[in-house]
Structure 1
Amino acid sequence: MTRRHLISVDDLGDDDLHWIVRRGAEFAAGRHTGEEPLRDDVVGILFRKTSTRTRTAFAAGALRLGARIVTYGPDDLQENTGETVEDTAAVLSGMLDVLVARTAGPEAELRAYAAQHRMAVINAMSAEEHPTQALADLSTLTTRFGRLDGLRVLYVGEGNNTASALTLALSRYHDTQLHLRTPPGYGVAQRYLDRAAINAKRTGAVVEQRHDADDLPEVDVVYTTRWQTTGTVKPTPDWRTSFAPFQVDTAMMAACPGAVFMHDLPAHRGEEVTAEVLDGPSSIAFEQAEHKYHSARAVLQWCAGRS
């Protein structure tokens, strides 16, 4: 049995990416009910930062798939007393089959956990990338539209770890469009745009970033995230002034007629999105949140080598 790590979307081949997204949509449709492919596995859940959706999705998903779980809080491991990540991983890999970890730190820390081959490691959010969010988003869109090829997405707001993962994932599908509208100084890092551009050369996808909210394109989806990303602090004290034009309100949605609205939650009504949009008929944000549970099951099954 091969354990597989998921630290970045780029860790997935095309077939693996498509399998996880498709399986997440199948779980959402009620397929595979009662199957327990992880019955003999133990899954560790390590969260050093707050989480509602991701932590619950992976814990519930592991239980539904038949696994047992061990949970760790931010102060539970001996890393707090100086034990190295490598030593911790060597110990845990002799007891766990899968480790789901949210460190909110650099990706390199998760790579250190993954420097062994007995225990699969899943990135439940690092400072740079939130891969499981992107996979849940693509499963949501698959369920909603019945396809991903050719979909057009407008992402508005900070180019954070959610945006980075979405950039890498959506560009892997044919003829998709991702229009990133981010405040000056808060865009998706160039290294993610460069990696997406490599994908786009073979898929025909379009990924473009602008730092204004003018002349919005015709799209199928408008997507935003909270302005104050979990575990981060803005470097400029007047950052809200730069972000204000990027609020998703009824006027912005009217400029994108027919588009659905997505948000990875938690949301702050009146900041990145108005209540009228988040709670309105175009919003699928809470359907998207439920998909984190369905997608988590798909990720767990793939990483545990049970696919």
Structure 2
Amino acid sequence: MRSLLSLADIDDRTLAALVDRAVVLGRTPQPEQTLAGKSVGIYFRRSSTRTRTAFWSAAVRLGAHAISYGPDDLQLVTGESLEDTGRVLGNYLDILVARTNDDMAELRGLARSGELSIVNALTAYEHPTQALADLAMLTEEFGSLDGRELLYVGEGNSTAAALALATAHVPGFRLTVVTPPGYGMPDEVLPLVEEIGGSTHGVTQTHDLASVDRTVDAVYTARWQTMGVQHADQEWMKAFLPYQVTTGLLDRLSKDDTIFMHDLPAMRGEEVVDEVLDGPRSRAWRQAYHKMTAAMAVLEWCAAA
């Protein structure tokens, strides 16, 4: 079975095909029922507005049957093994979309049975379908990613990590990640980026926002507390405040056609001010729409195996 657990597991051609398909689906109001007769499970152990609804809507629009599981609905909570759960669900489902917010071990355990496809809808260190939605948004906006640069400002969270892995698959595209000291991407991300993209990958990480002295094509931020998880340092906000996306920062970094992106939910007045999030450069709401088109592309890809 074909699963999407990490963007490090796929090749450049597959990523490009998924992004292009998401763009096409974004302009197709009534898509073909490519998942007719398929069954999709949606298992979320943590809260979700966009990703859970996007996958449900994606499955239904493509003709699949969808069932949703909450954190206490599977016998995993009573001690059944991951492998046994995956083996049983494979009798009923074709694809299981799962959000754990933990490491990848649970998803890999579910996939180990080989009985059904598993889609990572967010783990502690990567949000692959978010990155696909983001690249679809940028491709729709600019036509091509070649020669474009995305500036990500804020916590080096699962969104930033997924963007870095995605960027490594796209020659000519650049990503600069700017985070407060101590809040960068997980240590394993940049070695994976090098493994994927070699010495020519377009990913840079820094903690000095002032060192970004050029204009970029898109400025991206995300909430500073991923899924509301508390930072260990009680004074963490002081470290993040200089990285807030304000109108002044956006103006300094912008060309005539520069856009603003946010994966939502937004903590208004923290990582971004209202004037930017609701302003004319903002594509946050269209970006959220592409969470559904990216979900559709991934579900089709899994079902085609």
- Indicate the TM-score class for this superposition, using the shorter chain for normalisation: over 0.9
**1:195 Cα offset (Å):** 1.5
- Mapped partners of 2:31, 2:171: distance in 1: 34
CA RMSD, Structure 1 to Structure 2 (Å)? 1.3
Other-structure match for 2:7 = 9
Structure 1 runs of 4+ aligned residues shifted over 3 Å read: none
- Mapped partners of 2:116, 2:265: distance in 1: 30
1:22 aligned to 5, 20, 26, which one?
20
Which TM-score applies when normalising by structure 2? 0.96
Q: Would the aligned equivalents of 2:86 and 2:115 in 1 still touch at CA under 8 Å?
A: no
Which TM-score applies when normalising by structure 1? 0.95
Amino acid at match of 1:291: H
**1:105 Cα offset (Å):** 1.1
Aligned residue for 2:254, secondary structure, equals coil
Aligned residue for 1:104, secondary structure, equals coil
Q: 1:56-87: CA deviations, max 9, x gaps?
A: 11001001111001110111111111112121
Q: Would the aligned equivalents of 2:84 and 2:113 in 1 still touch at CA under 8 Å?
A: no
2:132 aligned to 130, 135, 148, which one?
135
Amino acid at match of 1:266: P
Aligned residue for 1:168, secondary structure, equals helix
How many residues are matched? 302
- Mapped partners of 2:38, 2:301: distance in 1: 13
Amino acid at match of 1:147: S
Amino acid at match of 1:253: L
Amino acid at match of 1:280: G
Other-structure match for 1:300 = 299
Q: Would the aligned equivalents of 1:104 and 1:231 in 2 still touch at CA under 8 Å?
A: no
Other-structure match for 1:209 = 205
Q: Would the aligned equivalents of 2:167 and 2:203 in 1 still touch at CA under 8 Å?
A: no
- Mapped partners of 2:131, 2:120: distance in 1: 12
Do structure 1's residue 64 and structure 2's residue 61 form an aligned pair? yes
Structure 1 gap ranges (5+): none
**Greater CA deviation, 171-180 or 53-62?**
171-180
- Mapped partners of 2:301, 2:113: distance in 1: 17
Aligned residue for 1:190, secondary structure, equals coil
- Mapped partners of 2:245, 2:300: distance in 1: 36
**1:212 Cα offset (Å):** 2.2
**1:231 Cα offset (Å):** 5.4
Structure 2 gap ranges (5+): none
**1:116 Cα offset (Å):** 2.3
Amino acid at match of 2:65: R
Identity of aligned residues (%): 49
Amino acid at match of 2:15: L
